[in-house]
Structures are given as C-alpha cells and as structure tokens.
Amino acid sequence: MRKVIILGSTGSIGVQALEIVEANPELFEVLAITAAGSDPELLIAQANKYGVKTVGVVKNADLIRQALPDVTVIDGAEASTEIAALKCDVVLNAITGSIGLGPTLAAIKAGNQLALANKESLVAGGDLVMPLVKPNQILPVDSEHSAIWQCLQGNHATDISKLVLTASGGPFRDREDLSGVTLDEALAHPTWSMGPVVTINSATLMNKGLEIIEAHHLFNLPYSQIEAVIHPQSIVHSMVEYKDGSTIAQASPPNMMGPIALAINYPHRTAGATAPIDWSKSSTWSFAPIDAKRFPAVDLARHCGHIGGALPAIFNAANEVVVAAFITGKIAFNEIISTVAKIVEQYEGGTIPTLRDLSDVSAIEEDARKKTSLLITKVAS
C-alpha cells in the first residue's frame, strides 16, 4: 500500500487524486493533506473521509482544529513544506504557483518520491531542484510531461531528436482579434476543467511556455530540441521524435486521471484510472503550428529559459501578478503577455542574478512582483 501526501488537496488535481484513492482503497493510504484553507469545509470533509492524521493549512486553522480535534493541524505559510518532508512513499505537489518550490525541495531532500503537478517549481527553481534529484524520484503529473516520460521508456536519451508538447490552443486558437476578450471568455476552456489561473495561462498559451521550461529541466534537453504544436482534440498528450525518424506518442482521453494515477502508483498502472479511447468511433486528430504573433508567450518563455539564471523565475512571477490583474479587471487580456515582456526587458537591461538557494528565488520573485504591480498601475492610469 502506497502512503501518500497530497499538497493542494482542495484544488482540481488534489480532488482528482483523492477520487483515485477512493476508487482504490487497497492501493493507497493518505497520510496528510494540505490546502490554503479558503475552502475549509472541503478540507475538513476530506480529512474525515480519508482518515487523515495530519492537515496543513495557511488560513482558518482554528476552525479546522475545532472540526478535527484528533488531527494534527500545522498552520502557516510553511505548512506544506513541513508536511512534504514527512516520511512517505510519494508526495503529490498539486499547489498552484511558485510557492510550491519550497515543498518540492523539502520532499526531494527527505528522499520521498515526488509526483509533480507544480510546474512553477522547475520554472522558478529548476537549477536548484534537479541537482538533488535521484533517478525516478520526480514523477511528472502534467499530462504533457507524463506523456513524454512514458514515450521515453526503454529508449536511449542519445537517440532523441526532439520533444513535441501538444497544446489545445485554448478558447482563442481560431480568434484573430484578442483585444476584446472578456474574463468569462478566457475562463471558458474548450477541453479542460482547471482552476482560474491555469485556465487563463492556457488561454494565453503561457502554460505551454512554462511547460517547455519544465521539460528542459525534467528531461535534460536543450531548448532547441523542445517544440510545441496545437492539437485541439487534446488526445495526444505529447510526443517524442527519435533520430531514426520515428515518433512515439501517448494518447488517452483529455483528463488528468491517468497521469495522476501513474505518478502516485509508479511503477504500476492503476486499472480503470480513466476510460480508454473508443476506437470503434471515427475521429480526427489534427495538429498545427503555434501562431507566435497572437501567442508570444511561448517564444518569450523559451527566451527566458535559454538566458537562464533568475529570468525564468522573474518571468513566472510577473505573469502571476498580471493574470491576477486581468482577473480583477485592471488590464486587458492582450496586455497580459506584453506586460510580462516589459518586465523581462527591464531585468535584461541590467545584470540577471543567479539563484543560489530558495531565499534567492523568493527575493527575486518579490522584486519582480513589485515591479510588475507598479507597471500595471501605470498602465491602468
């Protein structure tokens, strides 16, 4: 039986992971869960349902302690980091944002396997994380990276020609003018059901840019060997092209249950994790290049990753602030990536710092957030 810790249990990935646990009680035991605490009722219900012994929370700690008198409740900004270091078989990091970097480092240093759904850990701190990682210690949960990981099995790294990540293209893949995009339109993803930040990132294709940086760290390949294409059906989750001209693709229905189940139950596959593709029905899979003019986030991410140092962390932190500004109506949709680009340019005008430890990441991100907020204020005025 796999002893599991779930960080971000009330979010989309965390909820689906617990559904897998519920469907396979003979395979998993949930030792601990964490969440921000903005939905304390759900967190309390999860703790009761799965017999959790430890809960981590940022806010509403007193309310949760009262409701769970027999559970150890750890509160504060470092709760997930502390819990990630508890001995277990696998930590699922399903936290959104670069605040997931601390828990990622804690889980790795504790020797736990890490099912990683928090792509920002590697975007902001890949140079800190990867030197610490042992073989098969990080198990990718993002469907694209899970697909690549699966397509690489049994093959040699020296035989890889390139990695090809697929992107649904979001709700605006066929829309030419993005100047009048509303929040409701940006949140109406045609394929995936995700949280608001990830959904907005998918609409701008920022998500794909972040995934390219993540893939660079996970698979130790240069950016010149990592591409992305539009695949509206979201059935082929990603591909690996080999030097002999062969391409191996991983295909499954457009949901996260398969990648989550594989990561938390590795090296075994979980029966019935998701329904298979119905091959008795006719279907068409299409692929198209990304329009870099309408969706500049991918090229900007590749540029930041190639420059390296703190620039990817700056890029990600700026985006987090700008997305929040769009959600609250302070800037327009087509100003999201252009604003991030302006922040990147500001830092490139000076010396880009290197990252030595977690405190360096926190400091440069905080600086980037302040600069971005100031720029947004000027734009809005």
Distance CA 99, CA 120 (A): 8
CATH number 3.40.50.1370 is the correct assignment for the domain at 2-140: no
User: Quick one: DSSP state of residue 38?
Assistant: S
The CATH number assigned to the domain with range 308-381 reads 1.10.1740.10
Cis geometry, peptide bond prior to residue 267 (ω within 30 degrees of 0)? yes
**Beta-carbon contacts of residue 47 (< 8 Å; ≥ 6 apart):** 33, 55, 68, 71
Distance CA 13, CA 222 (A): 29
Distance CA 201, CA 191 (A): 14
What string of pLDDT tens digits covers the 381 residues of the chain?
A: 999 999 999 999 999 999 999 999 999 999 999 999 899 999 999 999 999 999 999 999 999 999 999 999 999 999 999 999 999 999 999 998 889 999 999 999 999 999 999 999 999 999 999 999 999 999 999 999 999 999 999 999 999 999 999 999 888 888 888 888 989 899 888 777 677 888 899 999 999 999 999 999 999 999 999 999 999 999 999 999 999 999 999 999 999 999 999 999 999 999 999 999 999 999 999 999 999 999 999 999 999 999 999 999 999 999 999 999 999 999 999 999 999 999 999 999 888 888 999 999 999 999 999 999 999 997 766
Beta strands 90-93 and 113-116 are: parallel
| Phi, psi (deg, nearest 5) at residue 124 | -80, -35
Distance CA 287, CA 337 (A): 24
Cβ of 378: how many Cβ atoms within 10 Å?
Answer: 7
- Estimate the crossing angle of helix 311-327 against helix 336-348, to 10 degrees: 150
Whole-model pTM: value is 0.94
Cβ of 32: how many Cβ atoms within 10 Å?
Answer: 27
Q: What residue ranges do the domains of the chain occupy? A: 2-140, 146-254+283-295, 308-381
